[in-house]
Chains A and B, each alone.
Chain A
Amino acid sequence: MKKHTSAGRRTAWFFAYLFMALCVAVAVFPIIWVILSSFKSNQEILSNGLSWPTQWSFDGYRQALEMAPIFQYFLNSLIVTVLSTALNVLALSMAGYVFAKKQFRGKNLLFSILSLSMVIPTTALLSPIYVTITKLGLYDTKAALVLVYAALSMPISLMILRSTFAGVPKELEEAAYIDGAGFLRTFFSVMMPCARGGIASASVLAFLEGWNEFTFALLLTSSGNVRTLPLSLSYFTSQFSFNYTAMFAAITIAVIPSIIVFTVFSEQVNASIVAGSVKG
């Protein structure tokens, strides 16, 4: 960044770049290795696993899609995640608005109680949540995952959205009321648009949570027609047994969309992660 003034500084920069290069290598090598392997034949994977493919073949991808309904799992994940994100963000926007702008008895107490959800490790609750979902008759349904994922992202969305609505100027709300807008109209057509930055952050984080969640998917579903993409990955070893090419292809199909979407929207994702770490 600055001109090199001394040998010491130059060495420091050398190590800085070396460190950066190592971090990049660590992050991408495993993924690139998987992608390259997906184009090799089984024989090649076993004989020289580190080399470039001798000829690029898409057979693995054809076989992977024949052997496992990956698009079905992808679709399941998409449905569950979109619905849980929408439910989470709508419910928490409503609550965030009321907590930020309205006065009512017991407000602080209720907020402290809801904040407790931040400090409960959800893996501790596996057994009761399993029992609850089963008793509600929701075992092995997409609805179970939609509700659980909406709940898992509740603490972080609550913090983000309350502080977002708190930052919307009071005058806008008052002006809407003076213009004769009711509670609902004020919320949906004045407050929500003003809070879109926070809504975007909360949506991104809720989406990531649902898209990647594994534990509850494993616990609460069993059949193939509700299986989500992360869960389906754990079946690959047995599903593809000795067809390594197909397994590598299947893993590639599963991760590439996330990588592309993230690379395109990385600024927004970064901003959301930062917003999520700043606690109310």
Chain B
Amino acid sequence: MRKKERKWIVLFLLPVCLLFVVFFAVPLGMVFVQSLFDYRLLPNKFEFIGFGNYAKLFLRDPKFLPVLKNTLLWILIHCIGHVALGSALAFVLYKKPRGWKFVRVVYMIPNIISQSAIAMIFVNMYNPQFGAVNQFLKAIGLEKLMHNWLFDMSTAFPAITMTWFLFAGYTTTLVLAQCLSTDETVIEAARVDGASGFQIDRLVMFPLVKEMIGTTVIMAATYMLQMFSMIYITTGGGPGSATTNLPLYLYSNMKSNNYGYASTIGVVIIIVGFLTMRIIQRIFGMNKEEVA
């Protein structure tokens, strides 16, 4: 009987273990191995060069530092501004003003449709001839502010940032859920004690949802570290490398048949991800995370 059960346990774990091995464990190992090789396909080349890729990346590649800077800046902006925006909305909605459910649903819509659809919408919004942004500036007589937003060196970075910055539906949904799950008598007691609305938000509610905000900050960091499609579709990383981030740079190296170098960038992404997560957990006091 017990022996029979063990057979079933193994069988039940097998599919997950296969998925994990093929798509996480082996690729993870391969990223580190490939990063030590000059690895090209067609014609196949797999030549050990030690830390050559790393030396090139950090010391001789003029593109790498701007790309790293873009990535980190975007993570920072997203973790602070984007999460603050979404949390602020949650703090308004948890008091259940009229129409709060409607706002919650509608604000989530840009997060439910695909990133590539949002990207295509903004390609058009920013179009220099007929895009809504320039049309609006023209309508209110500010023609001199009109730009070719996505392809002008000075505006590309902020313009592309706005394609995701304002859509904080996930943060709002999560923080709001946490707010709504707190015991209403706690809030009522504070009100009886004469606390103002703002004091309740700051001194009672915020500590209760702080950890959830920490979770959304981690999600925001992960989102930005992995951002690819919206940049790829709108600017392709240009002009120059003004809007290139690490995933995009990795991809462009794959396209130029430099798989070893691409994997070196992959290792950098893994390290940046690990460090960012640790820092965020430290700031929000989330020491007992699932990360062993």
Distance between Cα atoms of A183 and B9 in the complex (Å): 9
Q: Enumerate chain A residues within 8 angstroms of B27, measured Cβ to Cβ.
A: 125, 128-129, 132
Cβ-defined contact, A273 with B89, below 8 A: no
Is A3 interfacial (CB-CB < 8 Å)? no
Partner of A122, one of B4, B96, B226: B226
Contacts of B106 in A (CB 8 A): 24, 27-28
A1-51 at interface with B (beta carbon < 8 Å): 1, 9, 12-13, 16-17, 19-20, 23-24, 26-31, 33-34, 37, 45-46, 48-50
Contact with B along A63-75 (1 / 0, CB 8 A): 0000000000000
Main secondary structure of the interface of B (DSSP, over half): helix
Chain A-chain B contacts (Cβ-Cβ < 8 Å), number: 290
Interface 9-mer from B28-36, B60-68, B153-161: B28-36
Is B244 located at the chain interface by the 8 A CB criterion? no
B122 close to chain A: CB less than 8 A: yes
Which among A1, A49, A254 is the interface contact of B97 at CB below 8 angstroms? A1
Question: How far does the alpha carbon of A148 sit from the alpha carbon of B119 in the complex, in Å?
Answer: 23
Stretch at the interface among B141-149, B165-173, B202-210: B165-173
A129, B27: Cα distance in complex, Å: 6
* Cβ–Cβ contact A98 & B197, under 8 A: no
Cα distance, A117 to B17, chains bound together (Å): 11
B116 touches A214 (CB 8 A): yes
Chain B 120-162 against A: per-residue CB contact (8 Å), 1 yes, 0 no?
Answer: 1111110001111001100100000000000000000000000
Size bracket, chain B contacts: 35 or more
A251 within 8 A of B: yes
**Cβ 8 A contact of B125, one of A30, A91, A117, A231:** A30
Please classify the interface of chain A as helix (H, G, I), strand (E, B), loop, or mixed, using the class held by over half of its residues: helix
Q: How far is the CA of A247 from the CA of B136 in the complex (A)?
A: 21
Rounded to whole Å, the gap between the CB of A131 and the closest CB of chain B is 7
Chain A: interface size category: 35 or more
Q: Does B54 contact A (CB under 8 A)?
A: no
Task: Given A24-B103, A49-B131, A127-B34, decide whether A230 and B108 contact each other with a Cβ distance below 8 A.
Answer: no
B166 touches A26 (CB 8 A): yes
Please name all residues of chain A whose beta carbon is closer than 8 Å to the beta carbon of B139 when the two chains form the complex: 50
Partner among A16, A17, A94, A124 whose Cβ is within 8 Å of the Cβ of B269:
A124
B225 within 8 A of A: yes
Residue A184 at the B interface, CB < 8 A? yes
Q: Are B259 and A131 in contact (CB under 8 A)?
A: yes
B292: min CB distance to chain A, Å: 5
Chain A to chain B: the 10 pairs with minimum beta-carbon distance, closest first: A128-B30, A214-B229, A128-B27, A151-B23, A212-B114, A91-B15, A124-B266, A124-B269, A95-B16, A94-B12
